[in-house]
Structure 1
Amino acid sequence: MSEAEEGPPKNWFDRGGEAYARFRPEYPADLARFLASLAPSYGLAVDAGCGNGQLTTQLAPYFDTVVGSDPSVDQLRNAREAEGVRYVVAAAENMPILDRSTALITAAQAAHWFDRRAFYSEVRRIAADQAVLALVSYGVMQFGPDLDARFQDFYRFEIGRYWPPERQLVDSGYADIEFPFTEVQAPPMEIHQEWTVDDTLGYISTWSAVRAVEAAQRTPLLHSFAADLRRLWGEPTRRRRITWPVTVRLGVQ
């Protein structure tokens, strides 16, 4: 009997940096292309809080060098490689980057964790003239109508109280984040993935709320949701289209 037939594995949610590298959704190719088009030069881009380097590597074709910075050794151990990309273990508020050297600074699905006052000070330090800062976030995943009701109940009510306060900033598309820069509008974008039920549960396993549920020893509600999702999904190998709205707060230094 296959794992899919047996139901969710006992520790489907117990994952680390490897899960981020495997399951986090891909940003649309148009995002990196658009951000690069705004940069005043193509020497250096810095991706703060880069995680496993999803956006970092997408920026690589457009810049001579892209530096991905993250305080997590585990994340960088699983980071993607690409020509022109290098990674440093460092907080977004204190990066080993030369003054006034950087044409583009990005933070993808990360700025809500920063000390933003300190981060903005660091942005001003490393930014070249007319450098661009982009805070990228993606919102709640969207399924078809046959799955959305069960998912929304899980997301908002069953694990809703386990989300850290910072999650509200993501859900609002960073609309409530202070942003002391000359702002530029970004076009609407979406992430699209064609995922199996195991892909979907793997992604959910990377959520901070899932970690909090585990710490609270409430894992049965995770497994109950996983069983319901598998039942509603149908054939476990079926690929369903899932979307996330992408929001970009853009500023010029």
Structure 2
Amino acid sequence: MKDNFSKQASEYSKFRPQYPNKMIDYLVSFVKNKSVALDIATGNGQVAHKLSRFFETVYGIDISQNQLENAVPTENIIYKVAAAENTFFKNHEFDLITVAQAVHWFDFDLFYKEVYRILKPEGIFAVLGYGLFSTNADSDKIVRNFYHNIIGPYWDAERKYLDENYKTIPFPFDEIVTESFENHFTWTFEELIGYLETWSATQHYISKNNQNPLDLIYDELKASWQKNDMKVTFPLLLRIGKLK
């Protein structure tokens, strides 16, 4: 598993969008027993925190100690440093296992073998994520040019799985057909730039060129943002399955 986010852990915690409660409620509705849940690659703990309302105990694991230091502290959440493909848990321990916006970084074969080991036979496995947001037509053109052309060459190869809405990831489970969800926000310009700065390709560009690529679109995007509505829509990705 790659660690692309330790360096900007606090920004990630501040600017990454949350998943709506409606989507989490829907996911949890498929889980019969709500004793122990695990959120893998928990990052800032946003999904673990939402799950903690339903489960007696929630574990959140991540390979980044920096991310966990920015995670939401909650009484019934236990955060630990661990890799997705090689955890320290007992066999058949979890009623629910989630992975949000991270499965594309994993070694699929090793990861799914581990999920089969630690998920209870009647448990639920779920992949969550979100695709490229859309906004007003004028700002959309600027953002999409930034995404595809300016930082396009700096995306990791694994990003394609998100561009394909997680439909092309291996998914060796009995899949449950799910409803579709979207997330809607009204963002200030600071929130927009903050989010674009958390993109791994933005950080790769900075590392390689010693320049922030957002400087190339900053003024144009700011003018566009301030004269249009500041609404943002994220397509949400959700795949739910049971052990075969």
Same-fold status (TM-score > 0.5)? yes
Q: Equivalent residue for 2:3?
A: none
Aligned-partner residue type, residue 166 of structure 2: Y
Match for residue 107 of structure 1 among 76, 99, 103: 99
User: Per the alignment, do residues 164 and 60 of structure 1 end up closer, same or farther by CA in structure 2, a change over 3 Å counting?
Assistant: same
Aligned-partner residue type, residue 205 of structure 1: E
> What does the per-residue CA deviation read over 1:233-252, in whole Å, with 9 as the maximum and x for residues that have no partner?
127xx972111101111110
Match for residue 75 of structure 2 among 61, 78, 83: 83
Q: Equivalent residue for 1:252?
A: 242
Q: Is the 8 A contact 1:53 1:79 kept in 2?
A: yes
How many angstroms apart in 2 are the aligned matches of 1:68 and 1:100? 17
TM score, norm. by length of structure 1: 0.90
Unaligned segments of structure 2, at least 5 residues = 1-6
How many angstroms apart in 2 are the aligned matches of 1:122 and 1:40? 21
Q: Which runs of 4+ in 1 moved over 4 A?
A: none
Shift in Å, 1:93: 0.9
Q: Is the 8 A contact 1:196 1:239 kept in 2?
A: no
Q: Is the 8 A contact 2:206 2:212 kept in 1?
A: no
How many angstroms apart in 2 are the aligned matches of 1:140 and 1:83? 34
Aligned-partner residue type, residue 167 of structure 2: A
> What does the per-residue CA deviation read over 1:192-236, in whole Å, with 9 as the maximum and x for residues that have no partner?
22210100110111111011111221625320212221121127x
Q: Equivalent residue for 1:5?
A: none
> What does the per-residue CA deviation read over 1:107-153, in whole Å, with 9 as the maximum and x for residues that have no partner?
00000011111111111111112211111110001111121111111
How many angstroms apart in 2 are the aligned matches of 1:210 and 1:217? 11
Q: Equivalent residue for 1:177?
A: 169
In terms of mean alpha carbon deviation, does 226-235 or 162-171 score higher?
226-235
State whether structure 2 residue 195 is matched by structure 1 residue 195: no
Match for residue 55 of structure 1 among 39, 42, 47: 47
Q: Is the 8 A contact 1:70 1:91 kept in 2?
A: yes
Aligned-partner residue type, residue 38 of structure 1: F
State whether structure 2 residue 215 is matched by structure 1 residue 241: no
Aligned-partner residue type, residue 157 of structure 1: N
How many angstroms apart in 2 are the aligned matches of 1:79 and 1:220? 26
Unaligned segments of structure 1, at least 5 residues = 1-14
RMSD: 1.5
How many angstroms apart in 2 are the aligned matches of 1:239 and 1:66? 38
How many angstroms apart in 2 are the aligned matches of 1:157 and 1:172? 18
TM score, norm. by length of structure 2: 0.93
Q: Equivalent residue for 2:8?
A: 16
Q: Equivalent residue for 1:74?
A: 66
* Paired residue secondary structure (1:69): strand
